[in-house]
């Protein structure tokens, strides 16, 4: 491998789930909404066929991958990785955000665009920094290979990936808006004598 080889990394957020109540923290593992309007065929046609696919084992990501394959997506390989599961909100999954704020967060730091500040750790859960620390070894492993990859995963995981690539603080990394069944494309180039190894081609292209 030369010092200047580049790799593609496509980040795919799972399709829409049955969780539609945005006044609550999502449940841990909701299924896909069978009635959601997504163009799986257009996405399958848009994806290169040489991508190595890594999937969060949560149901909504597994079924998103299956739907893509049913519509013609082909991957060089497929595997599951527990490290790609969504940020854990512990005891707060399924709880009303207003109740959480009133009971636990009145004197805690706030974020303008997220229901929880990235430094907040829910009981039996993890904060965004812990999620990023979980994801960083995955990214390091991927860029050490000569392959291009697609990760079928979750919004907070993708935000962590973007934060890692752009070297952003947590308060900025959590601010990316990501639609369901949207892709973001990153390119990585081995250039140890240069700065700026990551190139962000696009973010949040929905299907």
Domain ranges within the chain, ordered by starting residue: 6-206
Segment 93-104 shows an average pLDDT of 96
pLDDT at 58: 98
Q: Is the pLDDT of residue 133 over 50?
A: yes
State residue 40's pLDDT score: 98
Q: How confident is the model at residue 1 (pLDDT cuts 50, 70, 90)?
A: very low
Mean pLDDT confidence for 33-60: 97
Query: Which of the four pLDDT bands, split at 50, 70 and 90, describes residue 193?
Result: confident
User: What is residue 89's predicted lDDT score, i.e. its pLDDT?
Assistant: 98
Closest CA to 93 of 27, 156, 30: 27
- Rounded mean pLDDT of 29-51? 97
CATH superfamily of 6-206: Phosphoglycerate mutase-like (3.40.50.1240)
Give percent of the chain with pLDDT exceeding 70.
98
User: Which of 134, 200, 155 has the alpha carbon at shortest distance from 64?
Assistant: 155
Rg of the Cα atoms in the chain: 17
- Model confidence at 96, in pLDDT bands (50, 70, 90)? very high
3-state secondary structure the chain: CCCCCEEEEEEEECCCECCCCCCECCCCCCCECCCCCCCHHHHHHHCCCCCEEEECCCHHHHHHHHHHHHCCCCCCEEEECHHHCCCCCHHHCCCEHHHHHHHHHCCCCCCCCCCCCCCCCCCCCCCHHHHHHHHHHHHHHHHCCCCCEEEEECHHHHHHHHHHHHCCCHHHHCCCCCCCCEEEEEEEECCCCCCCCEEEEEEEEEC
pLDDT at 177 over 70: yes
pLDDT of amino acid 2:
42
């Amino acid at each position: 491998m030369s010092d200047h080889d580049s790799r593609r990394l496509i980040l795919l957020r799972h399709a829409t789930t049955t969780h539609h109540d945005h006044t609550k923290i999502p449940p841990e593992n909701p299924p896909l909404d069978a009635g959601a309007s997504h163009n799986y065929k257009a996405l399958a046609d848009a994806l290169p066929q040489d991508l190595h696919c890594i999937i969060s084992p949560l149901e909504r990501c597994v079924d998103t991958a299956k739907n893509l394959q049913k519509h013609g997506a082909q991957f060089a390989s497929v595997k599951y990785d527990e490290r790609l599961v969504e940020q854990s909100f512990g005891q707060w999954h399924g709880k009303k955000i207003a109740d959480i704020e009133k009971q636990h967060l009145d004197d805690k730091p706030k974020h303008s665009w997220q229901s929880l500040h990235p430094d907040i750790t829910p009981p039996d859960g993890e904060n965004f920094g812990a999620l990023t620390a979980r994801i960083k070894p995955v990214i390091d492993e991927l860029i050490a290979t000569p392959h291009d990859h697609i990760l079928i995963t979750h919004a907070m995981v993708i935000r962590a990936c973007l934060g890692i690539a752009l070297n952003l603080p947590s308060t900025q990394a959590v601010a990316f808006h990501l639609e369901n069944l949207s892709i973001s494309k990153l390119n990585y180039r081995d250039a140890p004598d240069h700065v700026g190894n990551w190139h962000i081609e696009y973010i949040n292209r929905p299907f």
